[in-house]
Structure 1
């Protein structure tokens, strides 16, 4: 039997999982695996970053854009600590990420060796899977388990490996686990669907607040909204799910949102929350009936009291409701706020077209809009820039990524790096923290 280095076995397994690049920095407690990655450089690219936080944020951004797992790696000690911000971003935005973290040599663990820290304790809060391999024989099965749990739980998996294990020969060809994972099919009960239809039939002023959970259900969202004559408000993470200029769209909500969105929300008699955990309670009305659709049952009613919770996939649930309800005739509420939104767009355009010296953010966004390609990826940083992009940069069919729930500054450039790797043929405007550096560029 031909024996292989365990690091070689792991790189082959990464390829079998469909992983084609890894973000990281070389260093003492990861160099053995770096050597194995070098041998696979044509198929499994090592993207060397200049700081581990960039690698973790890029891995999270890649996962947000594609739905595929993002992979980063670091040494023990300081490198592992630097990963934390990016990993918390992935946790907060529910992005599947694998972090392969080196550790000091096996015989040195527990001796307070150079750069040794308690990695298992440090990663405990951020990870859905957090294990350290004790022998090389465990590594293939632990890797399968780590990737599977990251996908299934949409979170961070951390696999900690003393560097000497990568160099050891892997002698056991049989594995205890298999690759791949299976998504459960979640659909609301007939009783809950009946209750939701009753509420929708009785509503005169329904409004939809949709989040990133509708990213793959934009057509169903629009059909449902047209059917019940409801305007759509999008969370920040859902920007671009439908065009900002779509007649049903009232833009974003909250501090970064539009006035029509706020007033429509406060005027509504039924809120339909879809794929969102909207955190800003002050921007939601009190005492209004609500329906919530989410594929995570534990999210139902978590941020807002709901009368009916529909535990199910947004795409299938919206399609079912649309097909099993009579179309509403009264569109007066929708028409009222469509008119207000038209006035809002007119005022924004006037502000964007002003000629001022120095140039202000709305004018920068206007010029970016003129050169932004239809299939561009917008990687937006956090701060005032978030307000400017949200309010003044209308998206048509572009993808949009940001550090959403954690809202960490410095995520724009790692997001652009990840987007370039995910979609190398698409042009990438980078919305950075420096307002006057917003211009189309390719990395």
Structure 2
């Protein structure tokens, strides 16, 4: 005989779960006690449940195995929601164990009572409430199996009086993973005919093809196709890829935009890139995706292949003729190299002292602050080839996308589908807990960091040696850019930050504030030399402009109007 809670924890530990994240609370006491007694599972108690959900979302994305977090009755479970939505949007299997009021009080509007089934109805692929020990092991098996098969969140609610009840349930047996298969023969044959007849082909490659790097490179070579790589596909598909031309969208570049606009056929491989405005029009579109519900969701698709990317490309490649005309590919690659060279000029700490730099700085860096591009590039050089990177939603992601290369075995994780603020630091904690000897770097915005600031202490408490690099521009930079491109003067985006290095030091981290462009490289190197968790508070230029790949006249006009209003109203 054992308790319900012990059965659940033992089954998860047998499955390979090494950590469970959350905040202790009354209904969870049987579970945390079971974790205390099982040496295979580490309890990581965060300061806010949202951080727990973000952490396990990152762990699941990095390992492909289930992440587990817990929230107690009512408010504790509610706090999980944002991080769980990130797991849902990132297709990451996560199990949330949520407390509930005692069984006899359910439905009486008891203190802290929340209807968890209603609360999690949109975020979860499966949710259920355990009301009896006799529901083991079946209810737990359903939860975990659903999280894997649906690649999302399962919520198991356990009332406060049920977790401690005894059970003689048989051992839990989770289902094995399903087999991956290639797209059907008819789909592959039709796509081969289209690609063999096309002249200019561009690939748009997403994270669904990360495990098919060799096949994607071979496809680009065979078809003489530039490969536009989404942000989530940087990992595994960017480095040492002679066909890659960077990203599309607002964080993209002119070469990627031109490669998509000038092609005859656009081939989407493992991507559900969400921004419809960035898709070209009037093209023949071929989409290869494992999930049929993703086909045609963003742009109209002429030829669909539904199957695993690697296996489908293995079947497709022998049917393709090699394209000898390399003009489309070479033009895109050359334009991308030229754009990259222009971007490199901003990395020189003395850039703003050059003639062109002085002219530009009058408009966008009058206070001679550190340019964020230089911060990202310095981190790229200092971080090892096996580092894991996380980034907050906003401008910090822009600088990472443009200046950090996913070479070696580097990994990248962020809230790139949900687009939440405050995710970089807790995701870094989750990644670091998987391997405390591996370098983990968080590209944190100052606005995002301040939202979950208390969980910096979690890094100290659990000896998680993360490197937190803060782009401290005292503003919500992406929102500010959106306002200005729309012709609006900035409003509500300013942040009166404290000295974040001093705050981090008070929380027990090693920290340094960086204000001098000339010392930036040394300061970044210092951060990577520290043994424990470290925070680098880099005061960056708030007026840095990230020009979109295809700037429109209306954007430029709006920006000019906004700037004139700001000059009249403020500076």
On whether the aligned pair clears a TM of 0.5, the verdict is: yes
Partner of residue 276, structure 2: 281
Return the match for 1:103 from 100, 118, 124: 100
Decide whether the 8 Å contact of 1:17 with 1:180 is kept in 2.
Answer: no
Structure 1 distance, partners of 2:137, 2:47, is: 29
Whole-Å separation in 2 of the counterparts to 1:394 and 1:313: 26
How far did 1:352 drift?
1.6
* Larger Cα-atom Rg: 2
Rounded to whole Å, the distance in 2 between the matches of 1:276 and 1:383 is: 21
Matched-pair contact (CA < 8 Å) for 1:352–1:365 = no
Query: Following the alignment from structure 2 to structure 1, what is the Cα–Cα distance between the partners of residues 208 and 193?
Result: 24
Per-residue deviation at 1:354? 4.2
**Partner of residue 326 from structure 1, selected from 321, 325, 336:** 321
- Among 433, 438, 453, the residue aligned to 1:421: 433
Task: Indicate which of 242, 245, 249 corresponds to 1:247.
Answer: 242
The one of 407, 414, 433 equivalent to 1:396 is 407
Give me the whole-angstrom Cα distance separating, in 2, the residues matched to 1:132 and 1:400: 35
* Structure 2 counterpart of 1:160, from 148, 157, 160: 157
1:140 to partner: Cα distance: 2.3
Structure 1 residue aligned with 2:372, among 337, 356, 361?
Answer: 361
Mapping of residues 19-418 of structure 1, within 5 Å:
19-40=17-38, 42-171=39-168, 173-174=169-170, 178-244=173-239, 246-355=241-350, 356=352, 357-397=368-408, 398-418=410-430
CA contact (8 A) 1:352 1:392 kept: no
Task: Report the counterpart of residue 11 of structure 1 in structure 2.
Answer: 9
Q: CA deviation at 1:281?
A: 1.1
| Residue correspondences, number | 438
For 1:182 and 1:63, the matched residues in 2 are separated by 15
- CA drift at 1:9: 1.2
Paired with 1:18 and 1:144, the residues of 2 have a C-alpha distance of 15
Q: Secondary structure, in 3 states, of the residue corresponding to 2:246?
A: strand
TM-score (norm 1): 0.95
Residues 91 and 156 in structure 1, CA contact (< 8 A), matched pair in contact too:
yes
Displacement of 1:244 after TM fit? 4.6
Check the 8 A contact 1:351/1:362 in 2, yes or no.
yes
Shift of 1:423: 3.0
Say which structure, 1 or 2, has more relative contact order (CA 8 Å, 6+ apart).
Answer: 1
Answer with 318-327 or 72-81: which moved more. Answer: 318-327
Aligned mates of 2:73, 2:210 — CA distance in 1: 36
Cα contact 2:49–2:71 (8 A) shared by 1: yes
Q: Following TM superposition, by how much is the alpha carbon of 1:282 offset from its aligned partner in structure 2, in angstroms?
A: 1.1
RMSD: 1.6
